[in-house]
Structures are given as C-alpha cells and as structure tokens.
Chains A and B, each alone.
Chain A
Amino acid sequence: MRSPFISLLSLSLKSVFAIHLPTKKELASPKVLLKTFGWIVLAVVLLADFGFMFAMMDIGMHDALAPFGMQSLMLMYATVTASVLVFLFAFITSLSFFSSAPNEALFLTMPFKPSWLLAARMATVYAIEAPIAFLVMSIAAGVYGIKNGPPFDFYMWMLLNALALPLVPLAVSYAALVPLVSASRWLRRKNTILYVGGFIGLALALGFNWYLQTMMARIEDPVLLRKLLIDNELNFADIANWWPPAWLTMTAIGNSSMPAAFAATLTNLALGTALAAAAATLFGRSYTKILANFGELAAVKGKIGKSQAQAVFAPRPVFISLVQRELHLMNREPMYFLNGPFVIVLLPVILAISLIAQGQQIQQALQQLRPLLDGQAGYLIPAGIGVFLASSTSIACTAFSRDAKAIYFLKSLPLEPRDIIAAKLVHALLFAALGIVFGVVGVGLLLGIRLVDIAVALVLAVLGAVALNICGLVIDTFWPRLSWENPMSALKRNPNTIIVILGTMGLVAGLGALSATLPFSKYSFALLYGTVFLAAGIGFGVLLFRKGSAFLRQMEP
C-alpha cells in the first residue's frame, strides 16, 4: 500500500501534467492520429525554438570570448540565467497555484499533515521549474562540451546542479507568499490571484524579452559583451557570487578536484532540499488556513431600489443583450481576458520593448528598410500587423468552446441560432477593430508611413481581419471543445486557438514572402489580397451562416 503522502504527491502531479497518451486502439482513428501528431510537432517546435534561442546565445558568447580565453564565462552566464529564470518562474507559478485553492481545500477533509499538502504543491512547482533549469544548463553544457571537450564529470555536475537550482527559489517563494496571502484577504481571492499573477507573468515575459533582445544586441559586440560579463554590468558576477545555488554550481563545474566538485554539488542539493522541507514544515499550517479561507468571488450585498430597478431592468433588443453577455463573460474571466483581448495591448508593448532594447540596430535596420517602405511594404507591413493583432485575441476561434455546458441552456431559450452566432462574431470584430487601430495606425505612424498607405493598409486589415475572424468562428462552430473543467482549456489549451494563431502567422508570413517575389506594381498587391480576403470573408460567412445553425443545434457538451 502506498503512503498517503505519495498518493497525494502523485495526484498533485497528475492534476497538472494530465497528459492523456492515446492507446494503440485510439490511434487507429485518423482524427486522433492527426491530433497526436499535431501535439508532438507543436512540442518539438516549442522545445526547438527555445533550445535554438539559448544555443545561439551560448555559441555567440562562447565564440566572442574564446579569443581572450574567457569562454568559461559563458557557463557563468548560463548558470545565472537559469537561476534567475527559475526564481522568477517559481515565484509566479507558486502564486498562480493559489488560484486552485478552492479545489485543493477538499484535501483538508482528509487525514493529511499540513506540511504534506504544502510539500505536494511545492513538488508540483518543482516539476515545472526543473525542466527549465535543465534545458538552459544542458544546452550550455552541450555547447561548451563540443567546443572544449571537458571530462565526463563536467556534464554530470552541470546537470545535477541544474536539478538543484529550483529548490531554493521554491522555498523562498513559498516563505514569502504564504505569510503574504495569509495576511491579505484581498489576495485570497481567485480573481485577484489570476489578475496579479497574470500581470506579473506578463511583466516577466516582457522583461525576459527585453533581456533576450539586449543580450542578442551585445553578443555581436565584444566590447559590450566584456562590459556585461567582466565589468559586471547587469550584476552577473554579483549574482554568481552571492546567490548560493549559483555560487555552488560555479564551484562544482569550475573545480578540477573531483571531491570538491562532489561536495559543492551535494551541498547545493542538500541546501535546496533542506530549505524546501523547512518551508513546508514551517508554513504548512498557515497554508492550510489559506486553503480553508479562500474566496472565489466577492458577494455584493444590498437590494436594488425601486428607482434603480427601472434603469437596471430596462429592456434591450435581444441581439444587444447577447453581445453584452459575450463581453461580460469574456472580460470578467481573468484567464480569458489576459489571453484574449489584452493581447491587443500586450503585443505592441513587446514590439516597443524590442525597439527600445535593440535601439541602434533597429534604427539602422529601419534606415535600410526606408526604400522598401516607400514600396508595397509601406502598407503591407502595417496591414499584416493589424490583421495579426485583430485575430490574435482568440475570441472568435473559442466562442462556443468558452460556453461549453451553457450551450444546453442557450439552446433551450427562444433564440435563433444565427443570432447567437452573429453576436459571437460581433464580439470578436469589436476587439478586432481595436487590434487594427493599434496595428495599422500605431505601426504606420511609428514607421513614418504615408497617410495614403495607412488608409490602404486599414482597408486591407479590415478585410483580412473579418475573413480570419469568420474563419476562426467557423472552426469553433464546427469543432468546438466543450468538455473542460478549467477555463484555460477552453482558450489557452484549445487546439482551435493554436490553429488560428499559427495559421494567421503563416498566412501573413506567406503573403509577405509572395509580395517580395511577385513583380507587381505597388498597389496591385492591395487589389489582389483585398479581393482574396473579400472572397474568403464572403465564403466563410456563407458557410458559417448556412451550416452553423445546424452545427449549433447538434452541439452536445
């Protein structure tokens, strides 16, 4: 019989890594086979993308430092990067997990020690962070190994220390968060956690993007690189010297003596484990109190007065009511809002950060692009960005998936299916309009594009955005994902979202490449793409409104 703690640990891990591997029998279905293949490709692409990014930085850094015999500084850079990354991610992941407190509270009725509950949660966070540290460190070890041929034990110390790196951040994160959440009633709410966690996460992503852009800009310049690593700009050396897990890692991999390296590695692992265990023991009881006192949404007390009732209960046209329902349900769910409409604001911010971080390089690139911007690129670039922003909110391609079980109730109401579909489309197009304004007008003004070209870009972006949003809605009307417990599954983990976002990126990139190849005059492209978008929009629209009603009638969550 397994110990209760191991069962709890196993359940906690399974609840986060709930990956259903299809059986041989299931793989006989072409749909399952295609879906499985798609997920594998996506996983490989994501891993290769991040792996490639870190590998290119490591190689660039190594090659820039090697002529001075300082290539081992690349290992310090990797260790510090891994330490900082896992620290930030451990903090944000730990914070986000508080949002599942209402579900976890069920465990309070079972005979678990408080420290077990916290330890199981910490182990889950560790299982997410360890692969990140492992990826960063193993790529650095690989690059350094290929170019310098160190002994075998080097790899062993790199990887064992990589496993130790997330432990101290984990202990520190919970040591800070448990008292904080215990003390603040405001923080013990799902909405607050999701918004605070979401915004910190976005800030982190932006910071990471800024850091990558800065590093990329410096790697190509040995003078800047030297400033960064040797003159301690960005405090790299400080972090390596003063953050114990990083210092112990550097001691282990930089020490030629096997016993010393072993001792450093063991100390690193022991220190992390001891601190994590201490945090679980010390804060376990407070953690269970948080679980017991966690609130979902705040109730609002108070009657609706007679005079107020006239305004509150004023009748509206059914269609307006349907659109308003869509707006409320999307924008009041933090998971949907942050990954949906907010993307329209987020992406331009990321773009601005790239421009600022890469400063001179971007200015130079813009100078080189100037002649191109006088041609078709002048309206195609803003139009492409506008189209992408307008369809990146995932509103249309998850419209029915988000409704899930509510579909039954909606269908029992005297509503025409075409009205339900149209309301969902209008909701998506309202935000698409915002994306077009940000993308076309914002980028157009930033790049100093002529007003005529901005106007052409606006028309193209509107036609493209309408076509793509209708296409997204067709996909989600025909193949909605209606069985889920967590809203994240309806939007972020919905295959329809991935299909539409990757599809839009592919389309924009493809049309960009086509425009650079075809020998057409400047505005011929506008005519061509505008016609294609218009035809596609009409085609998808006819399909949606002719077949959509039948699909909606047959939808069964």
Chain B
Amino acid sequence: MKLRLLALYPEQMNIYADRGNILFLQRRCEWRGIEFSYAAAGPGEGLDPGAHDLLYLGGGQDRDQRAVAADMVAGKRDGLAAAIDDGIAMLAVCGGYQLLGHSYQLGEERLSGLGLVDLETVREPGERLIGNVAIEADLGDGPRTIAGFENHGGRTYLGEGAKPLGRVVKGFGNNGKDGHEGVRRDNLIGTYLHGPLLPKNAWLADRLIALALERRYGSPPELEPLDDRLELAAQECARAAALA
C-alpha cells in the first residue's frame, strides 16, 4: 500500500509548524509498512486530481496568502474541485482554510477565494481570536475530541448547506459566536486549529490516512494499532490546556 501526499505551496504556506502535520502522517504510515510519498505543488504548477491521495494546505503570512490565492484560482482550482468531488482526503489549516471559501478579507480588501466550500471570511471589530481550543467532531466513527490552538483575525461564516467540522467545547472556533469550528465537505476538512494539529490528535491523523487509502484501494483499510502512549498523553495535555 502507498499513500501519496501532496503539499500545496509548502514554501509559502508554512507559517507555523505545518511540517509537524506532514511528518506525523509520514511516520505513522511508515511504522505500519505503508509506503509514503511526498510531493509539492507550488506557484505556476497544475494539479492532477488522480495522482494524489491526501492534500495538505497550511497557513501563510498575508503577502504569501494573497499570491497563493491568485495562483490557485488560475492554475489549480479545477483540478482541486475534481479531486474533492471524487472524495480525496484533504486538510486545510488556518489561512488555507480561509482560501477554500467564496471570499476572505485581508485588511480592508476583499479577495476572491476558491469557492470550493460554502463559506466566507470577514473582518469584524474586536481582538484576534487566540487561544487553546477543544472541539468535538464526528468523522464517521463516533464523537471524538480535537484539541489545538487557534490564532485568527478573520471570522468565518458557513453557508446554509455547509457542515462544520465540529462543535466548540472551549475556545472561539469559526467566529466566536455560533459555536461552530471548521468545515467538512466529503473528505475535505478545513479548520482554524493550526500548527501541530495532527500530533495533538493522532486519531484524526489516522482517520485521514484511512480515508485516503479507502479512496485509492476501494475498501476501508485495517490500520495496525501503534504504541500511542505519548500521543495520548500529548492530546490529554492539549485538551486540559483548553479546558483550564
């Protein structure tokens, strides 16, 4: 078995520890004897929807995010839309999450997003939403906790038909008001929980691996259990920090 990961704009969209998520996926595949391949798609490059199993898009600084948004709309949107329709597993974090919507606001300026999910991101008066966060999410195998850290100025609102990733237990989530965090569409996940989201939530990493392999090989894989004592301790630590 092989899992083919494609990192979108890793040079531009890596503001905070995004490589931790990728490293975590890689090790957990390799420890189970699942071959792992890493490819990157940067500015000016297209996207072949059938060539990859798992897509990753991190967050970036404002200047980079602006350039990436324009490049993605021009060169990758169609390939990405086809891959998501086909059920590809994808994780988009923070700035990458905002780019998936119809539009987002950078300062006073309103920029077009990819329009792949029904959401938009706006500025509102008030402080940035910063802090430890815990949410409850069900990705088809029962409600589970996702713990992490959020740090965003933008407020994201989901459209009528869009499903949140989860319900905020502690923290702000999409906008600090409606109790929603992130978005889910097929096997695409968008979230404000940045940095080492997967290391703090090993079950979520494994769920993404399983969804990616299921699309490629046609049936849900049996993922061999790993010695997750440190992983569980880290999740408990992050969850406790959010609930404190």
Is B a genuine binding partner of A? Answer: no
Using a CB–CB cutoff of 8 Å, the interface residues on chain B facing chain A are none
